Structures are given as structure tokens and as C-alpha cells.
Amino acid sequence: MNNLLLGLSVAGGLVLAGVIAHGAWTARKSAPKLADAVVENPNTHAKVESIEPSLHADKSQVLPIEPDFDSDRFDAELASLPVPEKKPSLDPLIDVLTAIDLDFPVSGDAVLAALPATRRVGSKPFAVEGLREDDAEWESPRPGQRYSALQAGVQLANRTGALNDIEYSEFVIKTQSFADVVGGEPEFPEMHEEVARARELDAFAAAHDAQLRFVLRAVGVAWSTGYVAQNAAHIGFVAGALPGRMVLPNPVASLPQLITLTFDSQAAMAEDASQSAIRDLTLSLEVSHVARTERPFARMRECAKALATAMEGRLCDDQGHLMSESALDSLAIDIERLYDALDQRDLSAGSMLARRLFS
């Protein structure tokens, strides 16, 4: 009897141990994939051990390094850097322009003091520019400058729609009040013509506004936030300003990012990042905001395929349908046609005018 009880106890213990082991294995299998504990070289993608700096290094093994400054090389590298885009002026292509004649030049300080409190008319941006007395260049008013003429403008259309009669009337009132303060006389264009022009521009913009989104979904095990960030960093993404957001930066720092990667912001803010389970992430491209020369769609496609391979994900459109190579090729052709249409309208993708219109 004792042997029987002993045997049953041993068997029960083995069964219990098996259940515990299976549970642990199942939990481990279903846990989010974690980032590697090693540091990876971003240039070679080779994994190297993390080495902590030491304050007790052997000074006899440390060789002095002489500074080596090559001015010619520095000048050449500086010249090769992308040039930041000059801040644009109001443009008759997408703005209603009203000239403000002045009896005498006015200072930039006086113009700034007279500007209205808000820089919007309804849902449209409102701006004032001055013609510099010294070199006849238009610019946003600055202290210390003097201007021989002024102009006010309101944008004809943006993603909220076309400029309407009410907004135009508000523009007239705001501009007239400003002109009275600086001692100028505005010349307003005919309202119905400008509103009709706004509607036509809005119709063009609506037909050529492209915001692309790819969704990458986990095939099996979910991802941790660290795992997503690590794999995205390998292909050039950097942390964005908001939780759950990374960006592929533009070579010109003042221009918008090329591609945006987003995932669950709540998971990104979790106290224990290793326990945050992410099953999908989104790659986004504002086609009109990035210059054609940057190959943004091709790079977005390359990034999506690289992440899908590295993270065992499935590439889908924003409706959840699988994206085939033929579908991606067709989309690339459509985007080239869109670029052509924007170029023909002098609203080339990536230009300030295009970014203002499609905002």
C-alpha cells in the first residue's frame, strides 16, 4: 500500500511539473518579441558586445592623437550639404493678394505692432509681407527693416476646403483694419472671381491629394515596443516627438520627414516596455509633402519589405488586404502620374506651395 501511494505521489508530481513546464513554455512562446540585448553597429549591422568605459585604463597604451583639420575638405563637405529652403512669399497661385499702397515707408516694428492678433481667416492662413526699401525683396515683417509697400494675403484653399464668401469678407475687414493703422490703402480683387478661383483650386487639390499607408501585421508572436524601435532604427528611423511615432528624416532638416512609422501610443508609454504587445504598425507617406527626387514611395516600399522580413510581418494596405508586388508596381505608376500633374500645375511635390495647399 505504501509503495502504491508513493508511486501515485511521484506520478502526480511529474504530471504537475509537466503542467508547470508547459505553461511556462506557452507563456514564453506567446510573449512579445524583445529587442536584442547587444548593441548593433548601424553601418555594418554586425552585433558587437557592449563595452563599458573604464576610468582605470593603462595610460601607457593610450597614444596621443594630434588634431587634423583639413580646411579644403571641410569647405567641400559644407558645400555638399543640402541647402535649407528659403521661407516662401505669398504667391498668387494659391493666395488672394491685396496690395497696400503706402504714402511713406513704414518700419517693420510698426507693421508688427499693427498685425491682427490671429493669423487666420476662418480656416485659412492669413499673412502680411513687406517690400524692403533697401533691395526691393518681399519678406515677412522684421524689426529694424523699412518697407516701401505692403501686401496682405489669404490662402485660396487647403484640406478644410475652398475660401468662401464669408471668409473673403472677413479677410477684407481684417486687412482694412490693418491698413488703417499703418496708413495704407488696400486694393481688393473682385470677390466672386477669387471665390471661383478658390473652388477650382480646391477641386484640383481634392483630385490629387495622396496620403499612403501601409500596415505591417505580426504573423505569429506580437512585438514589444523595444523590438519595433530596434528594427526600425536599423533602417534609418529615429524617435519622433510623440510616443509610438518614429520618422525617416529628410536630408534637409527644415523639411518634413520622408516617412512616418506609428504604433500603439499606449503601448509606447507602458512602464514595462517588454510586456507591451504590438500586433501591427503603420507606415505613412504624404506624397505631396516630399520631393520626387527623394524617391519616397520606393523608400517606403523598401522599408516595409525590410521590416516585414526582419520582424516576420505581413504587408497590408490600410484596409487589411495583402499587398502584392503587382499592386505595389501599379501604385508606383499612379504616383508618378500624380507627380507629373503637380509639376504641370507648378505645385511640385515637396515645394512649399504644395505643402501649404495640402495641409
Count CA atoms within 13 Å of residue 45 on its CB side.
8
The percentage of residues in the chain with a pLDDT greater than 90, rounded to a whole number, is 67
- How far is Cα 177 from Cα 169, in angstroms, rounded to an integer? 12
| Domain residue limits, the chain | 95-206, 208-357
Q: What is the mean pLDDT of residues 153-169?
A: 98
Structure confidence at residue 300 as a pLDDT band (50, 70, 90): very high
Write down the pTM of the prediction: 0.75
The end-to-end CA distance of the chain, in Å, is: 84
pLDDT of 277 reads: 84
- pLDDT for 24-70, tens place per residue? 444 444 456 556 654 444 444 444 343 333 333 344 444 444 444 45
- pLDDT for 103-159, tens place per residue? 999 999 999 999 999 999 999 999 999 999 998 899 999 999 999 999 999 999 999
Structure confidence at residue 16 as a pLDDT band (50, 70, 90): low
- C-alpha grid cell for residue 98? 491685396
Of 43, 47, 48, 45, which Cα lies nearest the Cα of 309?
A: 45
- pLDDT for 180-238, tens place per residue? 999 999 999 999 999 999 999 999 999 999 999 999 999 988 999 999 999 999 999 99
Classify 239 as helix, strand or coil.
Answer: strand
Reported CATH class of domain 95-206: alpha beta
Q: What is the mean pLDDT of residues 271-275?
A: 66
CATH of domain 208-357: 3.30.1400.10
Q: Where are the beta strands (DSSP E) in 89-177?
A: 95-102, 106-107, 120-121, 124-132, 138-139, 146-155, 157-158, 161-162
Structure confidence at residue 9 as a pLDDT band (50, 70, 90): low
- How far is Cα 162 from Cα 201, in angstroms, rounded to an integer? 8
Average pLDDT, the chain: 83
pLDDT of 275 reads: 64
pLDDT of 13 reads: 53
pLDDT of 72 reads: 56
Domain 95-206 shares a fold with domain 208-357 = yes
Structure confidence at residue 253 as a pLDDT band (50, 70, 90): confident
